[in-house]
Every structure is written in C-alpha cells, then in structure tokens.
Amino acid sequence: MRSLARSYVDLRHILYIYVKRVFFTLYGPIPGLKPQFLVGNLLQTGIIGQNAPMNIVFLKLKVKFGDIFQFWLGPTRIIVVNCLEDAQHIFTHRQIYDQGDIFVEKLGLVNPNAVLCLRGAKFKRHASIVSPLFRGNKINVHLDAILDCTDKLLMRWRTYNNDPGQIHLNMIEQCQQLTLAIFGVIAFDFDLQTLEDENNSGKNELTRALYTHLNAAMKLIQLPTIIGRIYLFLNPEYRQARTIIDRYLQRMIEQELQESSIVRAERKRTSLIASLATSLQHDEKAEAIKTEETKKGLSRAEVMGEMLSFLSAGYSTTAAALVWFIYFMSKYPQVQSKIKREIAEYHSQCLSVEDLESLTYLDCVFRELFRLVPPAIGTARTLVADDRLPATGADLNKGDQVFISFYNLARDSRYWSESIDPEIFDPDRFSNDNIKYNNVAASIPFGGGHRQCMGQDLARLELKSICVRFMQYVTFGDGGPLFNAGGFKQTDTILPKHIGVTIHVD
Ligand code: HEM
C-alpha cells in the first residue's frame, strides 16, 4: 500500500518536472524573465493581478533586455521582436513565417472558421472570397452610409448642449455603438440599431455579447488550449453571448437569402454578406469529403464564422482609434482647431472621397495616432522552418512563435527624428518638412506581409470621414485630470483607461 502511494507521488513529481521543463522553462540564448509554473511571466509582470497593460510591460522589458526577448503568456512562449530590420524580414519571408499559433490555436477555439485563424489551403479558399471586398475604390460606395450613422450619433450629442459642462465618461461605448452600426450597414445591409439607445440596454444586447465574446477570446491566449476549451464550455456568460451573436448572424443570412440571386450578384463585389451568401455551398456533404485543395465555396458554419470574424475585427479596432482621436482632441485644442480650420477652408457640408483625400493635416493626425497608440499592440507569426534574424542574429527554430511589437517599434528613438520626442503626440512629425527625418516604416498599425489587415482601407476611410463630421459640428473638451487622465486599458485592443470629455456642439 505504502509503495503504491510512493509511486503515485513519484508519478506526480515526474509529471510536474516534465510540464515545468516543457512549458515553463527559459531556454535558448534569447534573454527573458524566468517563467513561473502555470502563469509564465503574467503574474510577475502584473498582467495578472494588477491588470498591467501588455504594451507597457513589453516597453519595460525592451529596456531591460533589448531588441529581442522571450516572454511567457502563461504556457505559451513568444519571442518578442523590437527591431525594424528583423520585423521586416519576418513580414517578407512568408514561406518561413506563417500565421501565429496565438491566432490559429487560441483564437481558433472561439471561431475556427475565421480567416484570421486559418492557414494553408483553407486560408486561401476563405481569403479568395472575403479579401477583395474591402480594398481600394470598392469601399468608396460606403461613404454615405458611414456619414448617415455618424449623423445619428451627432443628433444624440446635440441634446448634450442643454448641459455643456457635462463630462461624458462613456466615449468607448458610444464609439463602439457607432462603428458597430456602420459595420452592420456596410457589411451586412442590416440595421443593428446600436445607436438607438445610449444607455446600452435592450437593443444593444449585441454590443454586450460581442464584448463578452472578445474578452473570452483574449483570456484564451493565456491558457493552455485544453483548459481554454473547458473554460469556454463552463462559462455561461460566454455561451449566452454566443447564442445572441448566432441569432443575429442567422437573421442576417436569412434576410440576404430572401434577395433574388440577380440582385445579389450585382452587390457581391461590395457587400460582404452578398459575397458570402453567393459562396454558400450547394451540397455541403459532398464538399466536406473533398480535399481542402479541391473544395469550393463555404459551408453555412464557415459563412457564420467569417461574419463573426469580420464583425469583431471591423468594429472594435476602429472604435479604439476613434476613442483615441477624441482623447487627443480633448488634450490638444490647438490640433483640434487646426483640423477644423483645414476642413472649413476647403470643404462644404457634403463630403466626397476627393474632399477627404485633400485633408493633409488630418492625415498627419491619423498617422501620429496610429503610431503612438496602435489599437493592436502587435502581431504573431509561427516558424515553419529554422531561421536566423538578420539584425539581432537570433537563431529561431521551427515551431517558435515570434511577436512583432508595434508599440516598441513606434516609440524607438532610433527610428524617429530627434527633434520631436517619440513619446509625445505631435502630428507635425508627419508634415512634409519633417517626414524625411523619420523612418515611417516603424509604424505598422495594420501589420505587414501576406497576413496584413484586410480591412485597412475601409478603416482609414471610416475614421477619416467620421472625424471630419465630428470636427464640422462639435468640439471636444478636457474633462480634467480626475476623469480624463488617459493611461492604458487592455482589452482586445488598447484603450484609454480614463477618458472623460465635454462635447460642445458648435
Ligand atoms: C483601425 C482599425 C484596424 C486596425 C488597427 C487593424 C489592425 C489589424 C492587425 C494588426 C491585423 C493583423 C495583421 C498581421 O498579422 O500582420 C489585422 C488583421 C485583420 N483585420 Fe484589421 N484592423 C483594423 C480594422 C479592420 C476592419 C475594419 C476590418 C474588416 C473590414 C478588419 C479585418 C481584418 C481581418 C479579416 C484580419 C485578418 C487578416 C489575415 O489573417 O490574413 N480590420 N487587423
């Protein structure tokens, strides 16, 4: 009996050593903090426990370790790359650096059919259907819809003039409601009604469900895959959110399928839902037994996966950029006035795409915004073959996962002119006089290479047109150090921790 108990203890000991060795030990010559059992570096850096935002943690670790270091997101080891030459090498060698495991294995748990979570032939099949939709001139047809939704929000803000000193603390929610409403119309021809009710009740259940869904997805990155599966299964809030989201997606598909195929064929070049509905497989069972290379179209589950993937990717990142815009306007009234002057000088109330293109100072503002506070802190790639990075000389092995830190590159004084501190917000960094002194390639808010953001043209059009509309009609004011203190809050994007602004209708 005693020897049985002893061998049980021995077995547990061996298992502990094995798991610790395989998942939680610093290895190789790349520096980093020693990972702790189960939590990796998350506890010691305050990401767990103190809600330390990851961008700040990585900035500090760069000061400590330099251009490359290891970091353990719980059981997942990533190699954080902070040097532009190495980042560019990774982006341009797609045959070595494929989509990161963080996306495929972890986020794939919540949406295995999202283009972001796919590799190889399945990625190509999905990308051929969804990627052409949001490129170049095709998105210009959406301008009126974007402006209509923005005008709805402005109508709400007009009522604020009754109390002009009021400090608004719900800018994040309001921006999310706006970008979600816009995305519903332009991608799905569907009125999500998120702007109907400021107080986030009733009709805004979708906003809340998406928030829960994205938060759950973020937690998965820090958990072993098997625990992640259990976490999702046992999380009633997540399951309820998923039911709500699926109900909306089903409704959108049904609405689309009621259209005639002729109407749909006309719209499929610019409408995501029309393109997805056109791609629906006629015989799912027959397609399912084909090899991935010979499959055509998408199954209904895949269509729903892509709808959710674009909905998530399309609204929260754009909303984050919008929130930062409002925050910086409230803090830099001289920048806000200069934008207003530029708009007033050249433009009437009706906006065209050409009008937007001529607003060069506003372009500088956005470039600076995307540099200083990119909504996504970085991106990941997994090696499918061994490689050596050109600048740091780091030897990487097949299966390693690299993480390119957008934040660290964008604040590195090696790439930015000495005359304007890279830590401060100054759109003049990108003016014609100054731009040549900066290595603008070090600002990569939309990623790079073959897996760069598919929605970046739309995001730029959306942000520029919304902000022009804002600047035509309202002025944002600083709600004071207590409410408008900035800082960083980590969700699926990086947001200001404290934002409180006044909104004055001009
Ligand atoms: C300010 C807004 C946005 C930012 C900052 C942003 C940023 C990013 C980043 C950093 C990536 C990963 C790129 C890489 O790994 O190299 C990405 C991927 C992606 N984004 Fe965006 N995005 C934005 C808006 C949008 C919008 C509006 C859409 C949809 C229309 C969208 C759809 C996607 C998709 C589908 C992917 C996955 C691409 C792939 O895996 O091949 N994004 N985005």
Q: Letter for the amino acid at 204? A: N
- Ligand 1 atom closest to Cα of 103? 40
Atom of ligand 1 nearest to the CA of 309: 35
Instruction: Give the Å distance between the CA of 370 and the centre of ligand 1.
Output: 13
Is the pLDDT reported for residue 103 higher than 60? yes
Query: Model confidence at 431, in pLDDT bands (50, 70, 90)?
Result: very high
Query: Which residues have CB under 6 Å of ligand 1?
Result: 115-116, 134, 310, 313-314, 317-318, 321, 375-376, 379, 445-448, 451-455, 458-459
How far away, in angstroms, is 179 Cα from ligand 1 center? 14
> Which of 111, 453, 464 maximizes ligand 1 atoms within 8 Å of its Cβ, making it the mutation to test the pocket?
453
Per-residue burial over 379-389, b = 16 or more CB atoms within 10 Å of its CB, e = otherwise: bbbbbeeebeb
pLDDT at 24: 67
Q: How far is the CA of 125 from the centre of ligand 1 (A)?
A: 18
pLDDT at 136 over 90: no
162 versus 290: which is more confidently predicted? 290
**In sequence order, which residues have a C-beta less than 8 Å from that of residue 375 and are 6 or more positions away?**
316, 317, 318, 320, 321, 324, 445, 493, 494
Q: Would the pLDDT of 9 be above 80?
A: no
Do 262 and 283 contact (CB within 8 A), yes or no?
no
- Residues in the chain, overall count: 506
CB-based burial, 244-255: b 16+ in 10 Å, e otherwise: bbeebbeebbee
Token match 């200083």: residue?
372
pLDDT-derived band at 22 (thresholds 50, 70, 90) equals low
Q: Residue 464 pLDDT more than 90? A: yes
CB atoms within 10 A of CB 467: 24
CA quadruple 133, 134, 140, 144: dihedral positive or negative? positive
- For residue 225, the one-letter residue type is T
Nearest CA to 164 out of 480, 481, 505, 467 is that of 505
Q: Find out whether 364 is annotated in a ligand binding site.
A: no
The Å distance, Cα 206 to ligand 1 centre, comes to 21
Q: How far is the CA of 134 from the centre of ligand 1 (A)?
A: 11
pLDDT at 132: 86
Q: DSSP string covering 103-135, please?
A: IIIIGGGT-TT-GGG--HHHHHHHHHHHGGGGS
CB 146 within 8 A of CB 186: yes
What is the pLDDT, as a whole number, of residue 64?
A: 97
pLDDT recorded at residue 202: 44
What spacing in Å lies between the alpha carbon of 21 and ligand 1's midpoint? 35
Closest ligand 1 atom to Cα of 379 = 15
Residue nearest to atom 32 of ligand 1 (CA): 455
What is the share, in percent, of the chain residues with pLDDT greater than 90? 72
Nearest CA-CA partner of 31 in 76, 55, 66:
66
**Cα of 105 from ligand 1 centre, angstroms:** 18
The separation between CA 472 and the C-alpha centre of its own chain, rounded to angstroms, equals: 28
Output the DSSP codes for 9-59.
HHHHHHHHHHHHHHHS---SSS-BPPPBTTTBTTTTTTTTTS---HHHHHH
In tens, the pLDDT along 261-295 reads 888 888 887 889 999 999 999 999 999 999 999 99
Q: Which helix (H) or strand (E) holds 70?
A: strand 68-73
Atom 27 in ligand 1: residue holding the nearest Cα: 314
pLDDT score of 413 more than 80: yes
pLDDT of residue 279: 92
Which pLDDT value is given to residue 249?
A: 93
At the top level of CATH, the class of 75-505 is: mainly alpha
Cα separation, 352 vs 87, whole angstroms: 37
Q: Looking at the CA of residue 448, tell me the nearest atom of ligand 1.
A: 16
pLDDT at 475 over 60: yes
What letters, b where the CB count within 10 A reaches 16 and e where it falls short, cover 394-419?
Answer: bebeeebbbbbbbbbbbbbeebbeee
Residue boundaries of the structural domains of the chain: 75-505
Whose C-alpha lies nearest to ligand 1, atom 30? 455
**Phi, psi angles (nearest 5°) of residue 202:** 50, -100
Query: So what's the pLDDT on residue 3?
Result: 63
What are the pLDDT digits (tens) for 184-210?
A: 999 998 888 888 877 654 457 888 898
Q: Name the DSSP class of 166.
A: P
Let me know the angle formed at the C-alpha of 123 by 117 and 126, rounded to the nearest 5 degrees: 105
| Phi, psi torsion values for 205, nearest 5 degrees | -60, -30
pLDDT reported for residue 20:
65
In Å, what is the CA distance from 473 to each residue of 103, 171, 333, 344, 504?
40, 17, 15, 11, 9
Candidates 317, 324, 367: which one to mutate for ligand 1, based on the most atoms within 8 Å of Cβ?
317
Question: What average pLDDT is seen over the chain?
Answer: 91
How far, in Å, from the CA of 455 to the mean position of ligand 1? 6
**Ligand 1 closest atom vs CA 115:** 40
Closest-CA residue, ligand 1 atom 7, reads 446
Beta bridge partners of 474: 505
CB 425 within 8 A of CB 486: no
